[in-house]
Amino acid sequence: MMILSTLITRPIKKLINSSSRIASGYYNEHLNYVDNGELGELAESFNKMAYAIEEKVQELEVDAERKEDFVTNFAHELKTPLTSVIGYADMIYHRDLPKEEVKNAARYILDEGLRLEALSFKLMDLTMLNKQNFILEQLSSKEVFQNILDTIKPIIKEKNINIILDVEDEYIKIEFDLFKMLILNLIDNSIKADSRELVIIGHKISNDKYFIEVKDDGRGIPKEKIDRITEAFYVVDKSRSRAQHGVGLGLSLCEKIAKVHKSNLRISSEENEGTTISLEVYIDGGNP
Task: Specify the pLDDT at position 243.
Answer: 38
Which helix H or strand E contains 198, and what residues bound it?
Answer: strand 197-204
Task: Specify the pLDDT at position 146.
Answer: 92
Task: Specify the pLDDT at position 266.
Answer: 92
Q: What residues in the chain have per-residue pLDDT under 50?
A: 233-249
Question: Exposed, middle or buried, 81 (CB in 10 Å: 0-12/13-18/19+)?
Answer: buried
Structural domain boundaries in the chain: 69-282
Task: Specify the pLDDT at position 116.
Answer: 75
Task: Specify the pLDDT at position 162.
Answer: 92
pLDDT in tens, 244-268: 433 334 677 888 889 989 999 999 9
Task: Specify the pLDDT at position 150.
Answer: 87
Is the domain spanning 69-282 CATH 3.40.50.1820? The answer is no
Q: Collect all residues with Cβ–Cβ distance below 8 Å to 163 and sequence separation of at least 6.
A: 149, 156, 187, 197, 198, 199, 200
Task: Specify the pLDDT at position 47.
Answer: 74
> What number of other Cβ atoms are within 10 A of residue 219's Cβ?
21
**Cβ-count burial 129-158 (b if 16+ within 10 Å, e if not):** eeeeebebeebebeebbebbeebbbbbeee
